[in-house]
Amino acid sequence: MPEQGQGVNVALDEALLHSLCKLLQTVVSSAQWDLELKLPGLAPVPGEGITLN
């Protein structure tokens, strides 16, 4: 929470979190703010393979 003012806590399951992230990426790209919203874990890390069990 912020030191001053109001704050918000949000609890989302995995599906809602994914939907919110996609919505934010879409809005940021269409807002023409010259920003690219990159979220951790969405892009593969170069040199790291993916292991499927």
pLDDT, position 52? 60
pLDDT, position 44? 58
Decide if 29 contacts 36 (C-beta within 8 A). yes
Model confidence, pTM: 0.54
Q: For 21-49, how does the pLDDT look when each residue is reduced to its tens digit (9 = 90+)? A: 889 888 888 888 888 777 776 555 566 65
Decide if 28 contacts 37 (C-beta within 8 A). yes
* Max Cα distance, the chain (Å): 47
